[in-house]
Amino acid sequence: MPDFDVDVAILGAGSAGMSAYREARKYTDRIAMIDGGPLGTTCARVGCMPSKLLIAASEALHRTHYLDEFGIKAGEAKVDGAAVMKRVRDERDRFVGFVVDAVSGYDEGHLIAQYARFENDTTLILDDGKRLTARSVVIATGSRPNIPKPFEAVTDRLIINDDVFDWQDLPRSVAVFGAGVIGLELGQALHRLGVNVHLFGRDNLVGPLSDPDILSYAAKTFAAEFPAHWHADTNIRREGDEVVVSWSGADSGEERFDYLLAATGRRANVDQLGLENTSLTLDDRGVPVYDPLSMRSGDSTIFIAGDVTIDLPLLHEAADEGRLAGENAARFPNAYRRARRTPLGIMFTDPQIALAGRSHRDLVAAGIEFETGHVSFEDQGRARVMQVNKGLLHIYGEKGTGRLLGAEMVGPSAEHLAHLLAWAIASNLTAGEALERPFYHPVIEEGVRTALRRLNHALGFGASPPPRCIDCGPGG
C-alpha cells in the first residue's frame, strides 16, 4: 500500500510548478507538490529579478557619463561595490520571500518538502522511502547551468550566475563565457560597474538573434563598449588565485581574471528523477518528448512544464506551460491541446534586444515567403532627444497577405516595442492594419511606424493605407 495517494503530483515548486498547482487546485484538492528546496523560483532567486537589480545599478551609473552632452555638470560618480551587492541581495531576498510565503500558504498537507524518483509512471519514491501514487504527474523540476568540462580546471575560481548574486563586493575582473542572455546581460552590467570584463562567445552569435543584419549591428555595438570575442578559440588555465585565458584569432591575446563566469547554457534537472523506470521516450538530452500544445509526454499520464523542457526558459512561458500541464493533469483523461501565445523574448542589455513572433531563422527554415520593413534608430527623433539613438528594427510580413509574422530588434525601449508587435501579430494584423493604429509624436514607437510603412511598400501595398471613409459605405 502507498503511504500517499493523490490525483496530481507536481515535482518542483518553481514558476511552472506553482502555476500547475493553482490550475490543478481548481479541479481537485488531492494534490501533492513535492520539492526538496530551497523554495523560491529561479526567476526570483538567481534569474530575472537579481540580474535586473544589477543591471539597474549599472545603468544608473552609465547615464552619468553622458551628463556633459546634456549640458549638465556634476561630480564624478563612484561605485561602492559592497553597497551595490547589498541592495541586490536585499531586494533578491525580498522577492524570494514573496514566493516562499505563497507556497507556504498552500493548503495544509499539499507541500512535501522532499525530492522524489519515479518507481513507475504512477508511483514515486520519496527521500524518506515512503511511496506516493498519483493518477497523473507534472514534472516541473527546472534547470541548472551547464558547465563544460574544461572549465572545471579553474575549481573555486569558476562561478555561475547563482554565485554572482551572493557576492559581498564586486571583483576586479571576470571572464564571461557565453554570449546568450545571461552572459551578455551580466557581462555588460559588470563592465559598467567598473569590473574588467571580457566576453567569449561561439559561432558569432549574440543572444537569440538570427537576422544577419540585426546580428551584425548588435555585435558591433556591444564590442564597441567592452571586449567581446564573438567566436573565440580559447585556452584556460589556473595560476594561483587567477584564471588565465588566452585566445587566438584576429584579436588574439591573453588576460588574467579573478573569476570565470560560465554562462554556457542550461541543462534540465531530470537526471535524478529515475525516468528510466517510466515508459517515457527521452530525447538526446534526456528530457521526455512531449506535445507543446498539451504538455503531455507521449501516451502517458505524465506532463512536463517550465525550464525543464529547455526549449523556452522564460518565466511567462513556464507559467503558461504550468497552467496547461496542471489543467490537463487534473482533468485527465480529458486532456486538451491549446494554442500557445505569440513568442516574445527580451534581453535587458543596453541597447535592448528583443524578438516578437517568428524569428528570421524560423521563417527561413519553414520556407515562408516574406518581406522585411526596417528602421534605424540612429536618426530617430525621440531616440536622439534622449541620446539613446542606437538600434535597428526589422519587421517581417507575409507575401501576398501582408500579415505580420515576426520581428527582431536591438534598440531603445525594445521591451515595449516587442510587446506592441507581439500583440499585433497575435491579433493577425496586416502591416496596413497596424498602420491604422495611432502613433503619438514624438515617441520611440514612431520607429515602428516607419518600419511598417517600408514593409507595406515592400509587400506591394503602398507606403501606407489611405484613411478610412466612415460615410462612404462598402468599398468607400
In the chain, the N- to C-terminal Cα span, in Å, equals 75
User: 175 and 246 share a domain?
Assistant: yes
Claim to verify: residue 401 and residue 454 sit in the same structural domain? yes
- What's the DSSP call for residue 171? -
Structural domain includes residue 244: yes
Residue 339: DSSP 8-state: P
- Say if residue 26 is in the same domain as residue 129: yes
Q: Is position 65 within any domain?
A: no
Q: What is the pLDDT along the chain (476 residues), one digit of tens a residue?
A: 788 999 999 999 999 999 999 999 999 999 999 999 877 777 877 778 889 999 999 999 999 988 888 999 888 899 999 999 999 999 998 988 888 888 888 888 899 999 999 999 999 999 999 999 999 999 999 999 989 888 988 989 999 988 999 999 999 999 999 999 999 999 999 999 999 999 999 999 999 999 999 999 999 999 999 999 999 899 999 999 999 999 987 788 999 999 999 999 899 999 999 999 999 999 999 999 999 999 999 999 999 999 999 877 777 888 899 999 999 999 999 989 998 999 999 999 999 999 999 999 999 999 999 999 999 999 999 999 999 999 999 999 999 999 999 999 999 999 999 999 999 999 999 999 999 999 999 999 999 999 999 999 999 997 555 566 566 554 44
Which residue, 215, 237, 264, sits at the end of a domain?
Answer: 264
Nearest to 319 by CA among 28, 52, 43, 92: 43
Quick one: DSSP state of residue 321? H
Beta carbons of 140 and 12 less than 8 angstroms apart: yes
CATH of the domain at 407: 3.30.390.30
Number of separate domains in the chain: 3
Q: Where are the alpha helices (DSSP H) in 332-380?
A: 360-365
Task: Select from 331, 352, 368 the last residue of a domain.
Answer: 331
Q: Does 308 lie in the same domain as 279?
A: yes
In a domain, 165, yes or no: yes
Which CATH number does the domain housing residue 287 bear? 3.50.50.60
- Shared domain check, 361 and 377: yes
Residues 141 and 32 in one domain: yes
**Shared domain check, 139 and 201:** no
Pick from 224, 216, 221: nearest CA to 411: 221
- pLDDT on residue 470: 60
* Distance of alpha carbon 191 from alpha carbon 435, whole angstroms: 40
Q: Report the alpha-carbon distance of residue 420 to residue 454 in Å, rounded.
A: 18
Amino acid at 343: P
Residue 464 falls within a domain, yes or no?
no
Listed residue (236, 85, 93) closest to 164, CA to CA: 85
One domain, residues 252 and 228: yes
**61 in any annotated domain:** no
Same domain flag for 126 and 234: no
Give the per-residue pLDDT at 471.
61
- 213 and 260 belong to one structural domain: yes
Q: Which domain holds residue 18?
A: 4-37+113-145+267-331
Classify the phi-psi angles of 459: left when phi > 0, otherwise alpha if psi is within -120 to 50, otherwise beta: alpha
| CB atoms near residue 432 (< 10 Å) | 19
* Per-residue pLDDT, 225: 97
Q: What is the pTM of this model?
A: 0.93
Q: Please check whether residue 238 lies inside any domain of the structure.
A: yes
Q: Could you tell me which of 313, 323, 268, 269 has the C-alpha nearest to residue 293?
A: 323
Q: Where are the beta strands (DSSP E) in 284-418?
A: 302-304, 344-347, 352-357, 370-376, 392-398, 404-411
Domain-embedded: residue 164: yes
Cα distance between residue 29 and residue 448, in whole Å: 48
Q: Determine whether 52 is exposed, middle or buried from the number of CB atoms within 10 Å of its CB (0-12, 13-18, 19+).
A: middle
Q: What gap in Å lies between CA 359 and CA 49, rounded to an integer? A: 26
Domain boundary among 208, 238, 264: 264
**Closest residue by Cα to residue 160 from 178, 173, 142:** 178
Q: Exposed, middle or buried by CB within 10 Å (0-12, 13-18, 19+), for 265?
A: middle
Q: Which residues lie closer than 8 Å to 361 by C-beta, 6 or more apart?
A: 210
**Over 61-83, what HEC string results?**
HHHHCCHHHHCCCCCCCCCCHHH
Is 464 exposed, middle or buried, given 0-12, 13-18 or 19+ CB atoms closer than 10 A? middle
Inter-helix orientation angle 81-104/48-64, to 10°:
150
Residue 38 preceded by cis peptide, ω within 30: yes
Residue type, 317: E
Same domain for 132 and 271, yes or no, is: yes
The answer to whether 442 and 380 have CB atoms below 8 angstroms apart is no
State how far the alpha carbon of 445 is from the alpha carbons of 378, 382, 448, 450, in Å.
14, 9, 5, 9
Same domain assignment for residues 274 and 180: no
Strand-pair partners of 304: 139
Residue 46 lies in a domain: no
